[in-house]
Structure 1
Amino acid sequence: MGTSTPNKGPNSNNPLVPTWLEGGGEDTQPQGGGDGDPDIVPQPQIKPETGQRFRNPRSEMNRYFRTGDTGSMKSGVSRYVKNTGGKGSATKRMGSSTKAAGNLLSFLTDVAQRGTEAVAKSLNLTLRPDETVDELLLRVSDQICDVSTSNIPDAVARSAYIETIIEMTSTIGITDLDAITPEQIEASLSCFIGKSVTERIINDIGNNIVAEKADPVQLQKTLRELSGYIEGCASDAISKLTSDGMDIMNTALADKINEIYTSVFEILESVGGEE
């Protein structure tokens, strides 16, 4: 999965918008006392991750990584969604990825409609001679991802974006942004959403990949299969919206990103059966 770093991850109560952006962090500043006592900085209330909540889905996923059993993979992912609290909670757990997906869609549709040079100018960027598509996409990563922390949701968004750039310029075949097609935009959005969900799941329940000592070739194959499976679910979710009359080039689609993620998790939860 490229730059993904498996670990147990934070709990499912992470807010979509950090509380410090809403002015909730002012009480953490040192308060001077009048009696000469040293300043006391309140410590955040953080509950440690016990690891029990994801025990069953983690067990299923570890079995999948060892054996390549697709049934275990689908069951593990389904149980993961259930254990986060369902599709809505799983979507909130994605954090900044939902915003990044909307930004990517808006950027690509804007380029398709106004041209790369006009969009670059609006971002205060000067196009460089002979600049390739991947080089430009990397230069706008801050505008697309719009993250400033190193926490897991933000790291997931950046990692998924970088991997999406690779797919856009290879598998999807985007070599000239000025000639990008609606089909390529839809494929790029599906790719990012799928990869971000995959990265999030790996970080939450794939933390024993190395400990399980899976065969490197087998592990690479299973990670690729997992990503492809989830990207397929993302493609289905987007296709449902477009088949219902929503044009991929419609700017209003960027406001439907949370709905798409929720639909992806709904599909993932249902495919695992009634276990």
Structure 2
Amino acid sequence: MGTSTAYGGPGGGTPLVPSWLGDADGGSPPASPAAGDEPDGDGVAPGDGAAPPPAPNRPAIPAVADPQRFSGARNSFTRFAGSGGTDRASLGRAVSRYVSTSAGGARQAAQRMGASRGSGARLLGFLADAQARGVREALRSLDLESLAGRPITEVFVGLADYICPGAGTVDEGIAREAYIETIIELTTEGLTDLSTFTPDQMQTVFELYATHAIEARICNDIGTKAVTMPTDAQAAHRVEAQLRDFIRGGVSDALTRARAESPNLTPERIQSFVDTVYESAFAILQSLGQAEADL
């Protein structure tokens, strides 16, 4: 929520993972048709009558998803918001239904975080480089050495176009919004000196970023215009805070697990580490949400 600009959420027929989103590595090109299977003049492959494969360099059109898949999560979140943040069962049900039904499971939910996964990897990569070689050298490698010695918020603002390139799509907008929200929270978390960051402080920065990214993704997918927030400012703040804290708990658990499995994070493994954290976080959120709903 935060500084986000509300939009009505995706249409019910929007594919679970849009074709333009892709994976962080860009995906693999479609295979060329085997010899003898080229389509005839009508575009139909000869032989057993099966549909021809997608044309080279043209992504397959994703199947249309269930048009009602967002309704359960929206209804539950509306009940939670209407309670002013007291109906924890509806919060849990909303998040659990979002992952399991709206997004199609933890793996597909993570895939929907396309730009945020890439931005998260760049953020974590920069922090690791700054810790290994020093802030000045890490900034110099990005032609941003002039930021060395500046307050941490100025450094992070200066890194914005590197961490979050582009903001033309909703997905890219979510990534940039999450990064801005992270910058705002740096000082409140006691993160003021980038040159003395510990591994735990690096985790905190990435935890903040992933939390804001997932929150923005859920709110945009559910459709903030379709959810009526309390008119009382304190109640509305309580709703936002509880949703964010709930998501952060899942992200924190996912990060702890990932760090235990990959204690030595090399530059080559950062993207896969980030992808694992997002998928694990959604799986944990689904389980935590269901547990809240069952109380």
Instruction: Mark yes or no: TM-score above 0.5.
Output: yes
Whether 2:176 is the aligned partner of 1:158: answer yes
1:65-84 aligned at under 5 Å gives the runs 65-67=81-83, 68=85, 69-83=87-101, 84=103
**What's the counterpart of residue 38 of structure 1?**
none
**What's the counterpart of residue 5 of structure 2?**
5
* Residues 129 and 238 of structure 1, relative CA distance in 2, 3 Å threshold: closer
Whether 2:237 is the aligned partner of 1:220: answer yes
**What's the counterpart of residue 89 of structure 1?**
108
Asked if structure 2 preserves the Cα contact closer than 8 Å seen for 1:191 and 1:231, the reply is yes
1:130-169 aligned at under 5 Å gives the runs 131-146=150-165, 148-169=166-187
Asked if structure 2 preserves the Cα contact closer than 8 Å seen for 1:237 and 1:264, the reply is yes
Superposed displacement of residue 51, structure 1? 6.0
Whether 2:80 is the aligned partner of 1:59: answer no
* Residues 13 and 254 of structure 1, relative CA distance in 2, 3 Å threshold: closer
Q: Give the Cα–Cα distance (whole angstroms) in 2 for the partners of residues 264 and 198 of structure 1.
A: 12
Q: Give the Cα–Cα distance (whole angstroms) in 1 for the partners of residues 63 and 279 of structure 2.
A: 26
CA RMSD of aligned residues (A): 2.7
For 1:184, the aligned partner's letter is Q
Mark the runs of 5 or more structure 1 residues left unpaired by the alignment: 25-44
For 2:162, the aligned partner's letter is Q
Classify the secondary structure of the residue corresponding to 2:17. Answer: coil
Q: Give the Cα–Cα distance (whole angstroms) in 2 for the partners of residues 217 and 164 of structure 1.
A: 22
Classify the secondary structure of the residue corresponding to 1:127. Answer: helix
For 1:219, the aligned partner's letter is A
Mark the runs of 5 or more structure 2 residues left unpaired by the alignment: 30-60
Count, aligned residues? 250
Superposed displacement of residue 209, structure 1? 6.3
Asked if structure 1 preserves the Cα contact closer than 8 Å seen for 2:78 and 2:228, the reply is no
For 1:273, the aligned partner's letter is Q
**What's the counterpart of residue 192 of structure 1?**
209
Q: What are the superposed Cα offsets for residues 77-117 of structure 1, whole Å, 9 maximum, x if unpaired?
A: 10011111111111111121011111111000100111111
* Residues 135 and 115 of structure 1, relative CA distance in 2, 3 Å threshold: same
For 1:72, the aligned partner's letter is S
* Residues 62 and 92 of structure 1, relative CA distance in 2, 3 Å threshold: same
Superposed displacement of residue 249, structure 1? 4.9
Superposed displacement of residue 228, structure 1? 1.3
Superposed displacement of residue 159, structure 1? 0.5
Q: Give the Cα–Cα distance (whole angstroms) in 2 for the partners of residues 200 and 271 of structure 1.
A: 18
Asked if structure 2 preserves the Cα contact closer than 8 Å seen for 1:78 and 1:272, the reply is yes
2:22 aligned to which of 17, 21, 29: 17
TM-score (norm 2): 0.76
Superposed displacement of residue 232, structure 1? 1.3
Whether 2:194 is the aligned partner of 1:177: answer yes
For 1:165, the aligned partner's letter is I
Asked if structure 2 preserves the Cα contact closer than 8 Å seen for 1:91 and 1:258, the reply is yes
For 1:122, the aligned partner's letter is S
**What's the counterpart of residue 55 of structure 2?**
none
